[in-house]
Amino acid sequence: MIAVEAVNSSSTAAGDTQMDRVKQEQASGVADRSTKRPLDIRDHGDTGAYKTIGTPFVKDAKMTARGVNVFYGDKQAIFDVSLDIGRNEVIAMIGPSGCGKSTFLRTLNRMNDIIPGCSVKGDFSLDGDNIYGEDQDTVLLRARVGMVFQKPNPFPKSIYENVAYGPRIHGLAHNKAEMDEIVEDSLRRASLFTEVKDQLDKPGTGLSGGQQQRLCIARAIAVNPEVILMDEPCSALDPIATARIEELIDELKENYTIAIVTHSMQQAARVSQRTAYFHLGKLIEVGNTKQVFTMPRHELTENYITGRFG
Amino acid sequence: MHKTGPHGQHISQRYDAELEDLRASVLKMGGMVEQQGRAALESLVKGDEELARSVAKSDKQVNEIELKISDQCTDILARRQPTAGDLRLVIAIIRIVANLERIGDEAAKIGRMAKKLVDGNERQSYHSEPRHLGEGVLEMLKGALDAFARRDTDTAMEVIARDLQIDEEFKALNRLLMTHMMEHPNRLKNMLRVNSCARAFERIGDHATNLCEEVIYLVAGRDVRHLSLAEIRERLQN
């Protein structure tokens, strides 16, 4: 301390050092942060026109959604959202509870159709096909656009039957040998086969949570989907099971297009190439994940991902 | 120019306190090296042996606070996983303290030289040759620390621009000292010491420039290291 004090006393003539200036600023109430109230969950609540910041559109999109509005009865849940899901990419949708991210995800394979009072407006396409067209078979659509849910929900059947069910109803296997191959291949792609190969006839519900979720992923990919929607697939899993699912997502993106809704910002940052930030039913910002997590362009995005509200 | 940066409080008040504490530590360290630099210049131009000795030894405290700040950064990275503006703050600070520590080293070096010059028992006017250069560099350092405290990229740009003048001034001083050396070969050793001091000030100017580049990264999210002034302006515009 002695040396610094010596320096201190000797330079008082020079005076205006950094600490002095900061003290003066603090005394005079000049703060470096802006004095206006920061934007938070209450803001951007008006229902007028707005513009999504960033890059919602990509070249050669796998799925496109344009001018999407979703209502639950009188209540509007999604406001004029337009977004592309790029081919063989993982897009993460983040935002505070009630922001519409899950609702939007469910419009992509018409899961909202089964909710009474829910109406969906807008144009959706999958490789150019209108997925809300009158001649669109929703069962076929959901085979092309599969879904994995928050809570693992295996059928109360054997592990084998869980995976074989989809291919059977879609007629993808012509005999037992083909079906065995589909089941094994799907379980392998879901990184589950080696763990369950000796107990394929045991109930799927007897597996651990992480294994059950991988079983559900195997079930989803058994019907050869093009897109996999994941609605908080890891929220019921421990960190190790979560890491395995994330590793799996990384492998699956080689062959599939994946849209994932997650409450874990770190997970969005880890697994996705693009990130979309939803807020009170609006799509506020879309960008490359690296950009969104290092230099978000909208104040709401910044405040949400840095933990200033949510 | 103020782009998106941290606005308002975190839900976790403790996290706010940690980040504020970190910022305060950096400002404190900045204040310490600024005082060191000022004392180094004063000891050199006035030939103040006492002061020179204290400057020569003062880098110990700076090293200590550097370790403390590094530890704070590691702690926040490990426990908070900062993102966006918070992440840029921590990353910028890690690089800022490295530069501040080097500035402290340069100031201590000047202190050691100043001490030897006094020991050399020659009260010659050339001791004070680096006065103007030193003052210019200390202005840069002050500007850089202000730019950090206020998240002000305009001030940062001014400081970066100023480094070009400092470099020119150092070259001119170099030529001047060489002329002195030729005229008075018996004072060669001390002249070289004065030249080393000038060199150390010039290095402090470079570190101040680095600080400003970190301020631009922190505020605007653009990595502008190793770019020319014109290139930096261009990056800031788009």
Give the three-class secondary structure for A42: coil
Top mean pLDDT of A26-35, A122-131, B49-58 is at: A122-131
ipTM of the complex: 0.79
**What is the token pair recorded at B61?**
């405290």
Tell me, yes or no, whether B2 lies in a domain.
no
B184, pLDDT greater than 50: yes
Residues of A numbered 37-76 whose beta carbons fall under 8 angstroms of chain B's beta carbons: which are they?
37-40
Q: Residue B216 falls within a domain, yes or no?
A: yes
Q: What is the number of domains present in chain B? A: 1
pTM for the complete prediction?
0.82
Instruction: Indicate the helix (H) or strand (E) that contains A123.
Output: strand A118-126
CATH number at residue B55: 1.20.58.220
Which residue in chain A has the smallest CA separation from B217?
A295
Is residue B78 pLDDT above 50, yes or no?
yes
Model confidence pLDDT, tens digit, residues B115-171? 888 776 565 667 778 889 999 999 999 999 999 999 999 999 999 999 999 999 999
Number of neighbouring beta carbons within 10 Å of residue B231: 11
Residue B32 lies in a domain: yes
Sign of the C-alpha dihedral computed for residues B30, B31, B36 and B38 taken in this order: positive
pLDDT, tens digit, for every residue of A25-39?
555 444 444 456 778
- The whole domain housing B27 covers 13-237
Chain B partners of A4 at a C-beta cutoff of 8 Å? 32, 35, 58, 61
% residues pLDDT > 90 (chain B)? 68
B55 has a chain A CB within 8 A of its CB: yes
Residue B187's nearest CA partner among B173, B177, B202 is: B177
Give the span between the Cα atoms of A191 and A226, in whole angstroms.
19
Which residues of chain B make contact with A7, given a CB cutoff of 8 A?
A: 35-36, 39, 51, 54-55, 58
Is position B1 within any domain? no
A147-188: per-residue pLDDT in tens? Answer: 999 999 999 999 999 999 999 999 999 999 999 999 999 999
| pLDDT value for A36 | 66
Kindly list the structural domains of chain A, giving each domain's residue range(s) and its CATH number in brackets, ordered by start: 53-305 (3.40.50.300)
Cβ of A33 and B7 within 8 Å?
yes
Any domain includes B53 = yes
Out of B31, B88, B221, closest to residue A17 by CB: B31
Confirm whether B59 is domain-assigned.
Answer: yes
